Structure formats: structure tokens, C-alpha cells
Structure 1
Amino acid sequence: MSKIPTQGEYLDWYGFKFRWASYHRTPDQLNHYLYSYDTLSTDALEALDKLSPPAPTAPRKDIQTAYEPKEKSLTRDLFKLLEKNKNDDQAIRALWTEVNTVPEWVNWDEIERGQKVFWRYAGPAITALTHLSLLGGMSSGRTTVETLDRTGGFGARAVKRRLMETVQHTFGVHKDIQSIQPGGEGWEASVRVRLLHSSVRRRIIQLAQEKPEYYSIKDHGVPVNDLDCIGTINTFSSTVIWLGYPRQGIYLSKREILDYLALWRYVAYLMGTPHDWMATPEMAKAMMESLLVSEYRPTKKSATLANNIITGFEGEPPIYASRGYINALTWWLNGPQLARALEIEKPSLYHYALVASQCWHFMLISYITSSIPYLDHRNIEFMKRSYYDAFVFNKKKGALGYKAMFLFKWIPDHVNTTTPLGVTDEERRKMSGAFGRGTIEKTALFQLLLSTLMLFSLAYYVWTVLQRTQGE
């Protein structure tokens, strides 16, 4: 942006339209976050290294796959080390104390309601997180993409497993109130991801010190900096609330917004991310819009990673989505301007129609079930069981089938300095879509045909009534 936005100014940034207000922050005001980071977990990691030194790493032969040590003992479980040595070092004790201390502003009733918001609108939520928050989030070309590009976790063949692990973290956060409280599944996953972020940060800094041309802290900021982390929390919360849901016809109530933000503010706290901007809906929405202006600047690397995500999910269980359908969802949720900037192929009218049908289905189910307490409860429990089965437990349906430990597997090195563009798997392409094994597309097509039939039937009925009226 060539000039600093002024209060009251109407902005249109890649199709995202909003008015600049006092809560917004200019790129210059956000810039300091590029060079600040979670020092508490970094210090704890250094202390853990002294107690249990990491094994030496070798360059990956293929950046498209994860680096997997042959012996499990070579991959340290930092969370277990943290828990085991929580009283043996001041830095370790400080981190352990923080994540086990519940802030005064936490209201468990509010957070539990926030968890239910996710399952109440689970379909639109997963769709938004995948195609808007994740795919669209690759537009953050200045910082986030520069780090992800060097890890290899977004290679076309590795990306699905990488993202299925993220799904487990997301589900754990929303599972139930015990899961997010200290000692719970979602709580542990959040702490594990925090330690993983520190490992990635330190590794890239180490490589940059050895070869300055590998990564420029001056240009891109500290790897996995506070701005990156704020952006990540934003994509899981504010972006879903004010962009993801509305673009699928879902509008949360004020109570639902407050509850959902409260949940993700606590997650931000657990992950060592600045979170004061989430104190009110107005501040959270303003931060989302500020990040759009400051960080949404797609690069060639942005396009590569975004297309790798599409390639990695095309024809994969449990969705078996076709590339055209994924493209259509991406265009629908991010808008044409951003989709073009990410070099996402323009979808056909057929796939657009399927997406419209899916949104209509989401709206119908969501508003009916949420308006009746009994149905709301049953729907939440059904969604929770179904999604856990498809994305976590059942390997036959495409789930990982194991608990993600968020270990440091995608290890950056000097050999693989960037992630290449992936190649489409023709066998998976054949299985995708409404005429393959694409369950969602089959459902969307059926709904589209049914709606069209009903519309024509209604039109015909009206026409016959008018004809009879004129005849009389």
C-alpha cells in the first residue's frame, strides 16, 4: 500500500472490503512483531538440549517427503522431556508453569460454548479453514511463506499428512472442556506445537548463520515470529468468523463470536502468542483486516505452496475432491482477485454451481439444527463423532489412524532450500469428483439437481395457474 490508511477510509484489498478505524494497525505499527518471538519456549528448548542433546540430521533426499528417522529414539519428544524435567531447570520450569497457569480472564463456561460453535457449524468451519485460512493464508508472502517454503512440509506428497496433523490439533482444541484444560488432549497438542515452532525457528536461524543467503532475518523477520503466530491464530478465529462463515451464508450471533474468540485467545496464550488483540470482537476484527493490508502480498512461492495444497488433497480420502471443486471453493471463499494472484486455475460454472449447492446445504442444516436445542445437541455430538472417525481414527477413510505428536520431522537444510511445485497424481484424479468417489461432490450434485427440479416444478406450477387465470 502506497500510503498509510486514514480513519474512516474505505479500503478494498484483494476484494476484502472494510472501513479503516481506530482499532486498526498500519503495517509500520505491526512491523515490530517481525522481530519478537516466544523467548520462553526458546529458553526452555535450549535447556532441554543440555539434558537431552538432539541427534544429528542429514539432508533429505526428496523435499516432497518428510524426514523420518529410522529409529524412533532419534526423534526427541520435547513435550515428554519438558514434563519429565519440569523441576530440573529454571527455564523449563518457567514454561511448564506458564502453560499450567490459567489466566484470570479465562471463563470455562464461555470457552466450552466456543468449542460447541465449531461443531455446530463443523462443515463450513472445515471448509473455511482449508480453503480460506490455509490456502488463502499462503498469500502472506513476506514472512509465513518464507518459513514454510524451507521446511518441506508443504511439498505435494507431504502436505496431506502435515495438514491432517493440524486437523488433530484443531479437533483437540474443540473436543470438550477437559481437552483444553491443563493435561487435556487439546492443551497438550497446543504445547507440543509451541515447542515445534521453537525448533523450526532455531533451526532456520542456525542455517542462516552458517549461510546468510539462506534466510534474511532483516527482510523476512525472525522465523516463526510473533506476527506469524498472530496471523495463524487469526486464521483459525477471526478469519473464520468474519469471512469464512459469511461467505458460506453462516452468520454467528454476538454471543457465539465472543465465545469463539475466548477459546482461541486461550489457545494463543498456550502457544506463546500475543493475544490482547482478541479481548473484544472489534479489536479482533480490526487485527484481521490490518493483517490483510500488511501481510497479504502473494509471491511466486505463495502460488507454489497454495497449488501444492490442492495437488496434495486432490482425490484423497475421505473427501476425494476433484481439483476443479477445490479450485471453485478457493475462488468462492477468497475471491477472484486473490485466487488469481495465487495462480489458482479458474473453475468451471459446473463446479461453482456445486459450491453454491454445498453452501445452501450448510445454511439449511445449520440454521435448522441450531434453532432447536435438542437438534443442536444431537448435531454437535454427531459431527464430533463423524469427523473424528473420518479425519483421526479410521485409516480406511483416509485418517492418520494415530495420535499426532507434532515432532520435528520436516527439518530444514542447506540442500533443499525451497519447496518445488508438485505434480498431479493421475490415479487419484480419476477417483475424484462426483463421478468418482467424491462424496461431498456427489451430495452437492444431488442437491443441485433436486433444487433445480423443484425450481422448475414451481415455475411450471405458477405458469399453469397463470394460464388458467387468463383462460377464465
Structure 2
Amino acid sequence: MSVTTNKKGNRVEYHYWDYSFEWTDQHRPGSELEPWTRTCDTLADECNAILDALPASAEDPSKRDRYALLRDNHASDPKLEELWTQINTVPEWVDWEQIQRGQDLFWRYLVPITNALTFVSLLGGMGAIRVGEILSRTGGFGAKVVRRRLLETVQHTIQVNNSPEAMHPGGEGALASVRVRLLHSAVRRKIMGLVEQDPTYYDANRFGIPINDLDSFATINTFSSTVIWLGLPRQGITLTSQQEEDYVALWRLVAYYMGAPTEPFESAAKAKLVSESLLVNEFKPTDTGRILARNITIGLENTAPIYASLEYMDALTRLLNGEQLSDELHIPKTSLYYRVLMWGYCFWVQVQAKTLPFIPAVDRHLIASRKKFFWKHLMDEKDGLGKETVFDFKYVPGLKRRTRLGERKKYFFKKPGIEILSYLGLLSAFGFAATFSTGLYFVITRAFPQTR
């Protein structure tokens, strides 16, 4: 990757991964980020050690519902009680009206946000230094299983965005976040246990503690800041300052329940500085990350809900991540045909983004209907999860487990999906152009009849 720095007076402009910004004293150099890799959610680790010693109803210990064990046994141990009290206490900085505004934002821009989460936050995130080192050891990103793994993340995202009540202690979004917190702790403890057996299994000196504090708030960053300042703008959507504050506030609360540092998300301005600092210091694609990134598109090809071709997803990936990062992740370059489809797709989502919010009745109806529709399809037995996951420890790291590059499946036919939005966008653009040209023609001919 090439990086150019332009100095203008006291200003220093950085150009990283096709994203330009001014570096300031408030940005965080690598030396300030590194200590976060040596700390982690020790309270969850201590509680998991206690929970692991408790009998569970499931025959397979990896299938146990760790939250249920915490709920039923928190009074028996001071550490469990500490965690229970923490996750049932609402931080004083929470504004529930703001939380709802942030949730409404998700549903209002559902298609561009979910595409940003899939192809920028997740797939593009495989270019981060440590991400692949952890995920490749769990087995959850093999081409044959990655889709279900992603649907579980979708469940968490939907539950977080369902309603303000869902983010109250005991609400579905709060519970999902706590379960993910305990799962992350279980993965961390397992990997460190394997390191004790074989010190070469994972280089903790180089990468830090698995799923450390930096990894944790970087994950929240991908769900919030990456969407706001990378994913949406590259689809032609720019949020207002208030919308940025609302969406960051929502994910700050998620960070709290997940045991991640919340300080980087105290304001949208601070979150943006942290996000840009991570972009500079934490991205260096490796072969492992490239394999995981490719497995995502291979595993999602021609599957619900988007039913996209591999070529279409490659084009969307290059649009949303930029040419530099896409090249480093070895995303194939796309033809003119798919680049035109991307233009049509962006036109379509921009038209919706700029018109629907100004029709409140339609806006509220769409938000409500999308919640029902999305959840119904997520729980579909054939194309979805079939039932809610409790984020049990199903992808267990092992000394010999590494994720390998999958093979592309063959299809005799392809179902219509997200590519229809591109065609609709192109058709709409053509219609607008034709209408404008016709109107302009009549205006000119009426004003200058002698030209006819």
C-alpha cells in the first residue's frame, strides 16, 4: 500500500486505503493503541472459569448457555454477582430516546448498512492485523459454514436494533450482547490454554492477548464508525451530525454489555478519531486474512437473503473498501458490466435514503415491516437459522484447526436477488434522464418557438 502525506502549514493529511483525513494531536499513534492488546475482559474470564466448573444440562459442554448459568448461579459467587450487577445496571450516560433514533437509523437504511457490515466491516476487516489469527483458529469461517456464522451475527445485530426495551437489562439485545461477551471470553481462554500446550500455536507476544481490549472496541468500531464514515458514504449516503451521535451512542451501549471499553465512543467526534487511528495502525492484510475474506463471498454466493453472484459481491467489495485494500485482499477486479451495476445500485439506495425520511408515515411503516420481515426470514428453517442461537461455543479452537480456502460451488441457475436493485437503479436513472430531457425540450421549444 502506498501512503502519501501532504503538509499544508500545520496540517498533515493522511491517505490510507482510499480514505483521506487530517491527522491531529487527538489521533492515537500505534504506541498508544498497543497497551490495549495486553489487557482484556478479565471479569468475564474469571466468571467463565467458575461457570465451566458448574454442571450443565447439555451433554456437550460446548453447548451450554453461559448466560443461563450466570443467571441461575450469580448469588453463589462474588465474581458472578459482580458481573450480574454490572450487566443489570444502566450506565448514567444512556439516553433511551437517542438509542431509539440510532435503531431507527439501522432499519431506515437497512440495505446499505447491512451491505456495509458484510462487505466492509467483516470482509474488509479481514485486512486487520490480528483478526484472521483468531478467526482462522475457530473454524467458523470455512466456506461451508461461514454463512451460518454470519447469520448468528445478523441475529445479534437485529436484536440490538429491535427496540429501546431490547437494550434494557434483560432485553433481547442486551442478553445477546452478554452471551457474545461470554463466548469471546471462552474462545480467549481456550486459545490461551492451547498456547500453554504448544507455545507456537499463537504468538501472544506479537499479537497480544486473544480478543483483547483493542480487538473488542475495534469490533464495535466496525459496527458503528466504519458504517458511518466508510460504508455509507461510499454508497452515496451521508448522515447528519445528530444521526452520527445517535448511532455511535447505540453501539456504545452494546460495547458496555459486551465488556468492551466504552471510552472510544463517548462522542461521534471521538469515535471518528479512534476509527481513523485504527485504519492507520491496524490494517496489514495477510494470506490468512485473504483466505477468510474469500471464504465469505464463496459461502454467500447465490444464498438467501441477497442471492448475489460472486462477481457482483466482488464489485460491491471493491466499491465499499476501495481499490487499495481490495487489491491487498486479492479481490478480483471487476468488468465494466458490474461497475455499471454498482452505479445503478448506489443510485437506487440514494434515492430511497433521500426521499423516504421526508415521508414520516411511509418511513415508520417501512421500519416496522422490515423488522418483522427480516426476523421471519432469519428464523426460516430452510434459508435461515431455524431457531435463535444462544451463542454457544460451537466453533472450538484446536491445535490442528486452521481455516483453508474453500471451493466455489457450481449452480445450474441463480435466483434473483440484490442485483435487481442495480437494474431498478439504472432503470430509474434512465427514466429520470428521459423525463428531464423531455421537459427541457418542451421548455426550450415554448420559449423559442422559432427553433422548432
Segments of structure 2 that go 5 or more residues without pairing to the other structure are none
For residues 291 and 450 of structure 2, the distance between their equivalents in structure 1, rounded to whole angstroms, comes to 61
Segments of structure 1 that go 5 or more residues without pairing to the other structure are 56-70
Instruction: Determine whether 1:174 maps to 2:161.
Output: yes
- Match for residue 363 of structure 2? 376
- Match for residue 281 of structure 1? 268
- 1:125–1:240 contact (8 Å) kept in structure 2: yes
For residues 165 and 186 of structure 1, the distance between their equivalents in structure 2, rounded to whole angstroms, comes to 13
**Most deviating of 358-367 and 172-181:** 358-367
- 2:5–2:14 contact (8 Å) kept in structure 1: no
- Match for residue 61 of structure 1? none
For residues 287 and 6 of structure 2, the distance between their equivalents in structure 1, rounded to whole angstroms, comes to 27
- Match for residue 53 of structure 2? 50
For residues 315 and 115 of structure 1, the distance between their equivalents in structure 2, rounded to whole angstroms, comes to 29
Matches within 5 A, 1:248-263: 248-263=235-250
Decide which of 362, 365, 380 is 1:394's aligned counterpart: 380
**Distance of aligned partners of 1:460 and 1:369 in 2 relative to their CA distance in 1, 3 Å threshold:** closer
Counterpart of 1:407, as a letter, is D
- Match for residue 31 of structure 1? 34
CA deviations 1:285-342 (Å, max 9, x no partner) are: 0000000011111111111100000001001112110001100110001001100100
Shift in Å, 1:353: 1.7
- Match for residue 319 of structure 2? 332
Task: Give the number of equivalent residue pairs.
Answer: 447
**Distance of aligned partners of 1:185 and 1:3 in 2 relative to their CA distance in 1, 3 Å threshold:** same
- 2:103–2:162 contact (8 Å) kept in structure 1: yes
Secondary structure of the 1:319 match is coil
- Match for residue 102 of structure 1? 90
Matches within 5 A, 1:239-250: 239-250=226-237
Counterpart of 1:440, as a letter, is I
CA deviations 1:177-219 (Å, max 9, x no partner) are: 1111111111110000000000000111111111011101001
For residues 13 and 336 of structure 1, the distance between their equivalents in structure 2, rounded to whole angstroms, comes to 11
Decide which of 96, 108, 115 is 1:120's aligned counterpart: 108
Counterpart of 2:276, as a letter, is E
**Distance of aligned partners of 1:254 and 1:212 in 2 relative to their CA distance in 1, 3 Å threshold:** same
- Match for residue 417 of structure 2? 439
Instruction: Determine whether 1:187 maps to 2:174.
Output: yes
For residues 449 and 335 of structure 2, the distance between their equivalents in structure 1, rounded to whole angstroms, comes to 41
- Match for residue 392 of structure 2? 407
- 1:4–1:26 contact (8 Å) kept in structure 2: no
Secondary structure of the 2:158 match is helix
For residues 291 and 4 of structure 1, the distance between their equivalents in structure 2, rounded to whole angstroms, comes to 17
**Distance of aligned partners of 1:127 and 1:216 in 2 relative to their CA distance in 1, 3 Å threshold:** same
**Most deviating of 102-111 and 230-239:** 102-111
Shift in Å, 1:252: 1.3
Instruction: Determine whether 1:422 maps to 2:409.
Output: no
- 2:348–2:424 contact (8 Å) kept in structure 1: no
- 2:348–2:421 contact (8 Å) kept in structure 1: no
**Distance of aligned partners of 1:214 and 1:72 in 2 relative to their CA distance in 1, 3 Å threshold:** closer
**Distance of aligned partners of 1:3 and 1:221 in 2 relative to their CA distance in 1, 3 Å threshold:** farther
CA deviations 1:23-80 (Å, max 9, x no partner) are: 210011100011100001001011112223899xxxxxxxxxxxxxxx5566221111
- 2:120–2:320 contact (8 Å) kept in structure 1: yes
Decide which of 51, 70, 74 is 1:86's aligned counterpart: 74
For residues 341 and 457 of structure 1, the distance between their equivalents in structure 2, rounded to whole angstroms, comes to 43
Instruction: Determine whether 1:452 maps to 2:430.
Output: yes
For residues 3 and 321 of structure 2, the distance between their equivalents in structure 1, rounded to whole angstroms, comes to 23
- 1:79–1:192 contact (8 Å) kept in structure 2: yes
- Match for residue 59 of structure 1? none
Counterpart of 1:329, as a letter, is L
Counterpart of 1:8, as a letter, is R
- 2:5–2:12 contact (8 Å) kept in structure 1: no
**Distance of aligned partners of 1:121 and 1:100 in 2 relative to their CA distance in 1, 3 Å threshold:** same
For residues 6 and 42 of structure 2, the distance between their equivalents in structure 1, rounded to whole angstroms, comes to 32
- Match for residue 345 of structure 1? 332
For residues 402 and 53 of structure 1, the distance between their equivalents in structure 2, rounded to whole angstroms, comes to 21
Shift in Å, 1:105: 0.9
For residues 2 and 203 of structure 1, the distance between their equivalents in structure 2, rounded to whole angstroms, comes to 38
For residues 415 and 230 of structure 2, the distance between their equivalents in structure 1, rounded to whole angstroms, comes to 29
**Distance of aligned partners of 1:454 and 1:255 in 2 relative to their CA distance in 1, 3 Å threshold:** closer
For residues 16 and 252 of structure 2, the distance between their equivalents in structure 1, rounded to whole angstroms, comes to 26
- 2:4–2:15 contact (8 Å) kept in structure 1: no
- 2:18–2:324 contact (8 Å) kept in structure 1: yes
Shift in Å, 1:394: 2.4
Instruction: Determine whether 1:11 maps to 2:14.
Output: yes
**Distance of aligned partners of 1:35 and 1:4 in 2 relative to their CA distance in 1, 3 Å threshold:** farther
Secondary structure of the 2:418 match is helix
**Distance of aligned partners of 1:461 and 1:2 in 2 relative to their CA distance in 1, 3 Å threshold:** closer
For residues 449 and 296 of structure 2, the distance between their equivalents in structure 1, rounded to whole angstroms, comes to 57
Counterpart of 1:420, as a letter, is R
- 1:42–1:198 contact (8 Å) kept in structure 2: yes
For residues 8 and 43 of structure 1, the distance between their equivalents in structure 2, rounded to whole angstroms, comes to 46
- 1:5–1:26 contact (8 Å) kept in structure 2: no
Aligned Cα root-mean-square deviation (Å): 2.4
Shift in Å, 1:107: 1.3
- 1:322–1:438 contact (8 Å) kept in structure 2: no
For residues 363 and 251 of structure 1, the distance between their equivalents in structure 2, rounded to whole angstroms, comes to 10
**Distance of aligned partners of 1:362 and 1:90 in 2 relative to their CA distance in 1, 3 Å threshold:** same
- 2:131–2:289 contact (8 Å) kept in structure 1: no
- 1:23–1:282 contact (8 Å) kept in structure 2: no
TM-score (norm: length of structure 1): 0.89
- 1:369–1:379 contact (8 Å) kept in structure 2: no
TM-score (norm: length of structure 2): 0.93
Counterpart of 1:219, as a letter, is R
Shift in Å, 1:86: 0.8
- Match for residue 130 of structure 1? 118
**Identity percentage of aligned residues:** 42
For residues 243 and 36 of structure 1, the distance between their equivalents in structure 2, rounded to whole angstroms, comes to 28
- 2:347–2:429 contact (8 Å) kept in structure 1: no
**Distance of aligned partners of 1:54 and 1:74 in 2 relative to their CA distance in 1, 3 Å threshold:** farther
Secondary structure of the 1:116 match is helix
